[in-house]
Amino acid sequence: SIIVMSSYRSYDYQSKLYDRYVSEDGKEKADTYSGRPGHSEHQTGLAIDIYNGEKEYTKFEETEEFNWMKEHAHEYGFILRFPKNKEKETGYQYESWHYRYVGTKVANYIHKNKISLEEYIAKNINKK
């Protein structure tokens, strides 16, 4: 079971969420796992957070569903947005539950080359 637990967020909702994270962990740490209002991918409608309905979403990596997503998400145009060991490139900590729709062509390229969206952009879009 792959369940979307968070998708589109309004500016106001993102603002409240981000402010809560800042009050709990401080701005510097919150910026490693939450987009500031106006900068969150969830506000684009292209990002989703998922879980399997059984394990806590932060443990999604430990599920069969995660393994399935790792092997098949790109076939549907989705990428694991903040991959492990790509914190330097993305600016965010690893999140096994956060996926973004980029289309099948881009998702397949990212999957095949084991790169982040930032690396794809730097290589293919920022050339101009």
Catalytic residues: 95
Distance CA 12, CA 79 (A): 26
Rounded distance between C-alpha atoms, residue 119 and residue 102, angstroms: 14
Q: Which residues contact 68 (CB under 8 A, 6 or more apart)?
A: 2
Give 23's contacts (C-beta < 8 A, 6+ positions apart): none
Place of tokens 């994270």: 21
- For residue 63, give the DSSP letter: S
- Distance, in Å, from the CA atom of 88 to the CA atom of 21, rounded to the nearest integer, reads 21
